[in-house]
Amino acid sequence: MAISGEGGNKDTKQKSLVAENKPQVVTLADGKEYNLAPLDLNILVEFEETFDGPLSELISSGKMKYLRHLIYLMLREEYSLDEKEVGKLLTIKVFGELNL
């Protein structure tokens, strides 16, 4: 999963959360809609500090714990969820809806 300025293909030209400063609404595994906070600098820095490494290297490693933590950071300001609860909401089907 790439984190870039634009997601999707040329036909849809969907903007990613990095490119737009507004929440993305996604339906997670419990069937409820959630607002994912935009990836602002504070979220990115906290992510890097937590794992002591650059975001691009950590995400490209393919380890799911990094993706779960990033989504947790994007949800925690609005919802009372811990990382394990976020993990239960992130199924393979949900990954297709995420535009990071």
- pLDDT per residue as tens digits for the range 5-44: 444 444 444 444 455 677 889 999 999 999 999 999 999 9
Band of the pLDDT at 70, cuts 50, 70, 90? very high
User: Does residue 87 belong to any structural domain of this protein?
Assistant: yes
User: Does residue 11 belong to any structural domain of this protein?
Assistant: no
Half-sphere exposure at residue 4, Cβ-oriented, CA atoms within 13 angstroms: 9
Contacts of 8 (CB under 8 A, 6+ apart): 14, 99
User: Does residue 60 belong to any structural domain of this protein?
Assistant: yes
Lowest mean pLDDT among 15-24, 52-61, 81-90: 15-24
Burial class (CB in 10 A: 0-12, 13-18, 19+), 45: exposed
> Per the structure, how many domains does the chain have?
1
Which is higher by pLDDT, 93 or 52? 52
Name the residue range of residue 31's domain. Answer: 24-95
User: Does residue 33 belong to any structural domain of this protein?
Assistant: yes
Phi, psi of 3, rounded to the nearest 5 degrees: -110, 110
